[in-house]
Chains A and B, each alone.
Chain A
Amino acid sequence: MTMPRSAGRRAAPPAWRKPVLMGAPVVLLLLAFLVYPVGQLLALSVYNGEGFTLAPYKQLFSSSLYVTVLWITLKISLATTLVAVAGAYPIAYLISIAKGPAKSRLIFWVLLSFWTSFLVRAFAWVIILGRNGVINGTLMSLGIIDRPIDLLYGFGAVLVGMVHAMLPLAVMTMLAVMENIDRTLPRAASTLGARPGTAFWTVYFPLSLPGVAAAAIMVFVSAIGFFIVPALLGGRRETMITQLIIDQVQQTLNWGLAGSISVLLLTVVLAVFVLYDRVFGFSTLTGETAGATHNRDTAMRRLGGRVLGLLGSASDALLGLFPRRRPHGTGEKPAATLRVLVWAMLGLISLPAFLMVPLSFGNAGLAWPPTGFSLQWYEQLLQSPLWMQALTRSLVVAFGTGLLSMAIGVPAAFLMVRSRMRGKGAMLAFILSPVIVPRMIIAVGLFYVFAQMGLVGTILGLVIGHTVVAVPYVVMTMTAVLRNYDTRLDLAAQSLGARPLAALRHVTFPILGAGMLSSFLFAFATSFDELTISLFSSGGLSATLPKQFWDEVTLQVSPVIAAVSTGLLVFVAVLIYAADRLRRRSLAS
């Protein structure tokens, strides 16, 4: 009864105020700590403190080194993309058709790999492929070889490590599209006379293509800016372009050259994205529109259709060679061969991290097989002030990043979902841009700007840097959560007398709680595992956990690493399990 009166007395705020208040923080953050630093870095490549110069570019193209490295980078990224996408497809497919607990189990193992630190996973391959590693140790004890073979520091090792690093990302990206494919479509094809192979290749596969494309570009762009795997597993001939940037910044302090290499890298990435947009359209990246690709080129389409038709007939002919085990397999239960294949792959991608567990309890160092039992590495770890300080710092930074990302990202997500303002698509693209810009360029740019502001080595600096790369994930997950939220519930609350803020507190937030928690965890985990920005901005002394890990594995390898890896693995597993339980409890209530 009092509502209309008080509302009438106050002057209505201008309509533009709310969207500006909601969108301004994220825009300001990205302008100050993404656009400005990256711009600075790019400017440094043509400005040497006195005036315009192209000297860095002359240096870049005068020696064949940089072009060669770029070529190697592209080659490794492309190979990684092909293998990771091909490997991810059956996994994502099985997850999309699985139900109930089987599905949760599959997702758990993919997520466990996804969230297990890149460092842990890459380092595990050092252990597996090393001269005293798992493979050599096993082969020698079986008497198959007399002396260790060189598996590390080559193209093969880098490819294995890269694919392993990128496969979970590919699965999760593809899955977003595959989950939206109507499951009755392959069934309909079957009732219309299509054999299983034909139904798959002519109906399911074309519909899953946007997911394949999205996964491919995500993997390619991540791979091109990756340095952990080539640094740990590659030899000199597998140097990737980001490693050159690190060298320029950390060793020669040649900012101009670092800037020009960054320009090169950024150009390649942007070219790839433009190409992608031309062919598939960006909307497919969010997994929204399965099958809504524009079919512009009809000749291409017809050719594609014919190829898929042939693939279908071929696989049907192949399937026809086997006797039908169940006389009526129409997708009620995924085929046994597919399940075996997928679980074998999941086992393979999970195994490396788990190898660290027995090593961490052994007393023979990092050689395989582990012998004896001791807790000495854990004791060393707990008594090391370096590790303990790094752990504390990482937790504080990750927590701060989580809070700041939520404070900035949640209003932005509300704005993206609820408002009908113009330029929303452009704004979303801007918010998501930190995912697309290679992390190394952001990191170097931030280092340069932080150095001027005195933020290097500070917790605040790390929180800001990590928030820049974590906020897109918060906006993405919260947008998805909010899309499923019935806004009429707010109106109902308001019609029952709740003012907007009260409605938010009593209705909106309690319902969205689980989604918000998972967004927070996403930001937390992103920061907790972040190495690139920390590599520079943590300064020499105040390392985060990944930075400490990196220093240890690049400078002096000690079995303490195995203990840290085991700890991280357990931490991630508990986190995923807890998040899943929370999500289910909120769904049940």
Chain B
Amino acid sequence: MSSSSLTVQGLAKRYGDFVALAPTDLVVADGEFLTLLGPSGSGKTTLLSLLAGLVPPDEGSVRIGAQDVTYAPPYERDIGVVFQNYALFPHMTIEENIAFPLKMRKVAAAEAKKQARAALEMVHLPHIAGRYPRELSGGQQQRVALARCMVYKPSIILMDEPLGALDKKLREHMQLEIKRLHREMGTTVVYVTHDQEEAMTMSDRICLMNAGRIEQLGTPADLYFRPRTLFVADFLGESNLLPAALGTRVGDEAEIRLGSDGIPGRALANGQDLPAGSAVRVMVRPQNLGVARPAGDGVPGVRGRVSDVMVTGSLTKVYMEPLDRALPPLVAAFPTRNEADAIRIDDVLALSWNSRDAVVIPDAAASAGAAKAA
């Protein structure tokens, strides 16, 4: 992953007043699997279309390898695109579909046929070469679309929610399949999805987008454990976001005072360089939130009254209303056990967490207010 295969600088796209993509920088390493994740309208598909050359940008540049392709049409870029609906040509056989890009590259017919067969072998569908797309199941069409894209070994493959139309089980299977093909081919992949689990499972890095800009770019663990913004913390997995005031820094941790009672605690500073006294949120994932019967009344700590208990299978989730009204409702999760000592609604529980599992995030609303005041 040394050389970069894709470099995006200041790339932007507007439709009238609507900013589909604010000026964006992005570097994708050779052989990397990068996912563009975000809610609908976040700009991920716009970015993908700009990379594919399906839409012209308003400003900025795109380089594939060393070549500037900002204004190159799709057929002059060294890319492959897997479309959401697969876009197999209905009037061509599977083999003709897969040989199409080779034909466009003036590969001799016999050689194209051989390579198409080999590509079908790769996706485990050697027996369907003579069939038409409409005769295949959704999963098979998906594999053919992948084969058609891989057969000419483009330096980047762009995938636009390729698994969106498949059911859950098939989707999970195809996720592994795509990972396998990515490993075997060593091609750079830029993958668009709105499914956070899919992004976490498949990606080397995730580029989380929101409202036309990159919210955070990092490994799945980065985004999950060290979200830089409330949006990231909220979008990926469940999270408890406790309002707090920032205290002094102690190494890579920071002192915090939670809620209106100012309950003292510690959390990872998360590289945030905020002055002491700033309003922040402290994120604790549900599975890192410990619950216990309160030991005694003198000990300061966050207390919550149980409002609901749900067994979701392997996890049991406990929903609580904190006694301190300044804190939002909280949820704790732990492995479901066959215990007699079950937690009941209206129980009051003491909450605790390890400071290494708590992360400081700037409070967007508070900092927006501060910016306005300045």
- A interface vs B, CB < 8 Å? 182, 184-185, 187-196, 198-199, 203, 206-207, 290-293, 295, 309, 326-330, 332
Contact = CB atoms under 8 A, between A and B. Distances in A.
Contacts of A191: 52-54, 74-75, 77, 79-81, 158
B91 A195 contact: no
Contacts of A328: 53, 56, 71-73
B87 interface: yes
B89 interface: yes
Contact of B87 (A185, A206, A329): A185
22 contacts: A185-B89, A185-B90, A187-B54, A187-B81, A188-B83, A189-B100, A190-B73, A191-B75, A191-B80, A191-B81, A192-B100, A193-B104, A194-B100, A195-B75, A196-B73, A293-B91, A326-B56, A328-B71, A328-B73, A330-B55, A330-B73, A332-B56
B104 A198 contact: yes
B91 A207 contact: yes
Contacts of B54: 187, 190-191, 330, 332
Contacts of A330: 53-55, 73-74
Contacts, number: 88
Contact of A292 (B72, B75, B80, B90): B90
Nearest to B56: A328
A203 B105 CA distance: 16
Interface of B: 52-56, 71-75, 77, 79-81, 83, 85, 87, 89-91, 100-101, 103-105, 132, 134, 148-149, 152, 158
B56 A327 contact: yes
Contacts of A199: 75
Given A326-B56, A328-B73, A194 B91 contact: no
A182 B89 CA distance: 9
B100 A184 contact: no
Contacts of A291: 90-91
Contacts of A309: 103
A196 B104 CA distance: 12
B83 A192 contact: no
The 10 tightest CB contacts between A and B, nearest first, are A193-B104, A291-B90, A188-B87, A327-B71, A192-B101, A328-B56, A191-B81, A190-B74, A184-B87, A191-B74
A194 B158 CA distance: 17
Given A189-B100, A194-B104, A206 B152 contact: no
A298 B128 CA distance: 17
B83 to A, nearest CB: 5
Contacts of B149: 192
B135 to A, nearest CB: 11
Given A182-B85, A188-B87, A193 B55 contact: no
B139 to A, nearest CB: 19
A192 B158 CA distance: 12
Contacts of A292: 90, 134
Contacts of A327: 56, 71-73
Contacts of B100: 189, 192, 194
Contacts of B74: 187, 190-191, 330
* Residue picked from A184, A191, A291, A328, most chain B C-beta under 10 Å: A191
A290 B53 CA distance: 27
